[in-house]
Amino acid sequence: MTERAPAALGARVAIARQFLAAAGLVLTGRNPARRMRSAVRRLALGQDQAGTASGAADLRVQRLADLPADRPVCLFMAYAADGRLFPHTLRYCADLRAQGLFVLLVVATDRPDLRALDPGVEVVDGVLVRGNAGYDFAAWADALRRLPALWDAPELWFANDSMYHSPRLLPEMMARVRASAADLVALTASEEVAPHVQSYFFALKAPLDRRQAARGFWDEVRALDDKLAVIRQYEIPHRARMEAGGLTVEALYATPAGPGNHLQGSWRSLLEQGFPFVKVELLRDNPFQLDLSGWRGALATQGFVVDEIAFHLGARPDGTAALMEMG
């Protein structure tokens, strides 16, 4: 058996940072398991697979159907610590596929072997698995680097597992995306820090010969460990970069003007507009201490699968499910 080469200096530094971050979590009384798994995974991979600054080498094509020439491709990014996705995420992928998208699932995992439980051909058209580093932008960028033929798709849609969706409302939203004449179509915009479109769901519809700005943007994306750094370096400049490259950008759903996290703060009014999503973080963490009373009824009325949402929330060990039962 051939022994793995020791990790190069850059990879060793990245591994050390994961261990230091884990130590910091221990000191503050938080769970270091994810950071520890990430460090151990990188050690196990060794130099040849530990990944470059972009993380592109740390990606495995588990299954992939032939890329279609006539269907939009959706890169759906999801996190699965042990390689298994929750039912609500599988339903979301299947519903996107039922609406005519070629769904390529990109799974970020803590498993050293970079494997995920394949949900099957009725749910997704392909499965890519990568280490859990760099958040959504790095995962999307790595998929585009690994499979450059994706750029030949008539449209590229991007989605992630940060939202719960309503199967009933999703088709109307997708019809609105398809009807838009914009080159880049997002659902909501934000003015926090700078005007930008939010990245949980967007579609690149620009013709193939007008995608230079998009390709240049994604070529520059690198795996960053800090979520706020990802937001500031990639999500916020995304709209401006596309517009500077001559592309038109549209956000389909209205939110109040001014700063603030309106995706969470205006969740009820968005539902009234037929918006098919609610933020996972809102129900899981409620970081802004918003009024969530009656959330079950509000979501059920709009066609959300509340039992699957509650099951996902109940998987947390911190008692969140008890709060959810009060809603």
**What is 139-179 written as a DSSP string?**
HHHHHHHH-GGGGGSS-EEEEETTEEE-TTTHHHHHHHHHH
What average pLDDT score do residues 188-211 get? 94
pLDDT recorded at residue 1: 37
pLDDT band for position 20 (cuts 50, 70, 90): confident
pLDDT recorded at residue 11: 61
pLDDT recorded at residue 44: 56
| Domains observed in the chain | 9-45 (no CATH), 59-251 (3.90.550.10), 262-325 (no CATH)
Q: What is the DSSP letter of 311?
A: H
What average pLDDT score do residues 51-57 get? 42
Q: 82 pLDDT exceeds 80?
A: yes
Percentage above 70 pLDDT, the chain: 85
pLDDT recorded at residue 47: 41
Q: Which two tokens stand for residue 251?
A: 């956000």
| Cα–Cα distance, 162 to 156 (Å, whole number) | 19
pLDDT band for position 9 (cuts 50, 70, 90): low
Considering only CA atoms, which of 254, 105, 136, 245 is closest in space to residue 184? 245
Q: 12 pLDDT exceeds 90?
A: no
Q: 219 pLDDT exceeds 60?
A: yes
How many residues are given for the chain?
Answer: 327
What average pLDDT score do residues 137-159 get? 97
Q: 48 pLDDT exceeds 70?
A: no
What average pLDDT score do residues 7-15 get? 64
Give this prediction's pTM: 0.84
pLDDT recorded at residue 192: 83
Q: Are 290 and 264 in contact (CB under 8 A)?
A: yes
Q: 69 pLDDT exceeds 50?
A: yes
Q: 36 pLDDT exceeds 90?
A: no
pLDDT band for position 50 (cuts 50, 70, 90): very low
Query: Which has the higher per-residue pLDDT, 101 or 9?
Result: 101
Q: 87 pLDDT exceeds 90?
A: yes
Least confident of 47-61, 172-186, 262-276: 47-61
Considering only CA atoms, which of 242, 183, 249, 194 is closest in space to residue 217? 242
Q: pLDDT tens digits for 174-192?
A: 999 999 999 999 999 998 8
What average pLDDT score do residues 66-72 get? 95
Q: 93 pLDDT exceeds 60?
A: yes
**What is 273-297 written as a DSSP string?**
TT--EEEHHHHHT-TT----TTHHH
Q: pLDDT tens digits for 286-317?
A: 989 999 999 999 999 999 999 999 999 998 76
Query: What is the average pLDDT score of the chain?
Result: 88
| Cα–Cα distance, 325 to 327 (Å, whole number) | 6
Which residues pair with residue 135 across a beta bridge?
none
C-alpha radius of gyration, the chain, whole number: 20
Least confident of 19-33, 58-72, 101-115, 236-250: 19-33
